[in-house]
Amino acid sequence: MTEFSDYSAKYSCLAMTREDGILEVRFHTDGGPFHWGLTPHRELESAFLDIARDRANQIVILTGTGQTYCGPAVPPGGHPNRNSMTPAIYDPIYWEGKHLLMNLLNIEVPVIAAINGPAVRHAEIALISDIVLATDDTYFQDTAHFQGGMVPGDGMHVIMPMLLGLTRARYFLFTAQKITAAEAQRLGLVNEILSRADLLPRARELARLLLQQTELVRRYSRVVLTEDLKSRLQAQLSHGLALEGLARMKAT
């Protein structure tokens, strides 16, 4: 078990506040918009575990900072270290990748995503939330993987086909397609579209609505509603991560 004081100020890319059991987690980089990289990859794996082990957390809200949810966009073939890996360098990335999404899904309370703008890297972290809200200027795109010269094997290959359907997901991943908030809502990725000013108030309103149910009903509902996704990740994630890593190895 962990307590809020053990981890609330522990992570450089996460700002956390909690009121009446509602934990708000805001992704950021140096206080500004959230930039994906090795540090967030490492910290989110650990942070989600800490959050899951704190029984005082009753609802979790995930959001970003400023005008974007997660970036920056990676230009085609743009990962500078995409072919510089060795097994020793990749092993901790592989280990974190195996646990990051599973630790998120092991948070046994409802999770609400308040997506505050474009999500061009690792949108799946928000999209597997129980309730997904987005601003009207949000769009979803995977610039980090195939477009950036990497295999989409770290969970995108499981989650996007599950959410979009296999044919749409393959197109999305191969072409770095942009899906607007309105289209995402039509496809079932997003529940509500709001103005930026209304986004977090609506997330908090929904959190308090969920708090009206008993704790065990909330917890066990989260458990049963994430079982299928967890089983798919358990079966497919390690293989996908291994192929992603193999494609990034230094040429001999």
The dihedral region occupied by 199, where left means phi > 0, alpha psi between -120 and 50, and beta the remainder, is alpha
Are 194 and 134 in contact by the 8 Å Cβ rule? The answer is yes
- Rg of the chain, C-alpha, whole Å: 17
> Which SS3 state, helix, strand or coil, does residue 79 take?
coil
DSSP H helices, 53-127, are 87-105, 124-127
Euclidean distance between CA atoms 120 and 74, whole angstroms: 8
CA dihedral 92, 94, 99, 105 (to 10 degrees): 140
Going from the C-alpha of 56 to that of each of 52, 60, 78, 182, 249, the distances in angstroms are 10, 11, 42, 35, 43
Please identify which residue in the block is written with the tokens 């206080």.
Answer: 31
Tell me how far apart the alpha carbons of residues 222 and 248 are, in angstroms, rounded to a whole number.
36
Query: Domains in the chain, start-ordered, CATH in brackets?
Result: 4-247 (3.90.226.10)
Helix (H) or strand (E) holding 19: strand 14-19
Q: What 3-state class would DSSP assign to 62?
A: strand
Contact 173, 142 (CB under 8 A): yes
Phi-psi region of 86 (alpha: psi -120 to 50; beta: other; left: phi over 0): beta
pLDDT score, position 77:
72
Q: What is the pTM of this model?
A: 0.96
pLDDT the model gives residue 252 = 61
Q: Could you say which residues of the chain have pLDDT below 70?
A: 79-82, 252
- 124 classed as catalytic: yes
Q: DSSP states of 125-156 as a string?
A: HHHTSSEEEEETT-EE--TTTTTTT---TTTH
Through-space distance between the first and last CA atoms of the chain, rounded to whole angstroms: 46
Count CB-CB contacts under 10 A for residue 233.
21
Backbone angles phi, psi at 145, to 5 degrees: -105, -100
The answer to whether residues 192 and 39 touch, using CB atoms and an 8 Å cutoff, is: no
Q: What is the pLDDT of residues 85-120, one digit of tens each?
A: 899 999 999 999 999 999 999 999 999 999 999 999
pLDDT at 76: 85
Catalytic residue of the set 124, 215, 227, 244? 124
**Residue 149 φ/ψ, nearest 5 degrees:** 90, 25
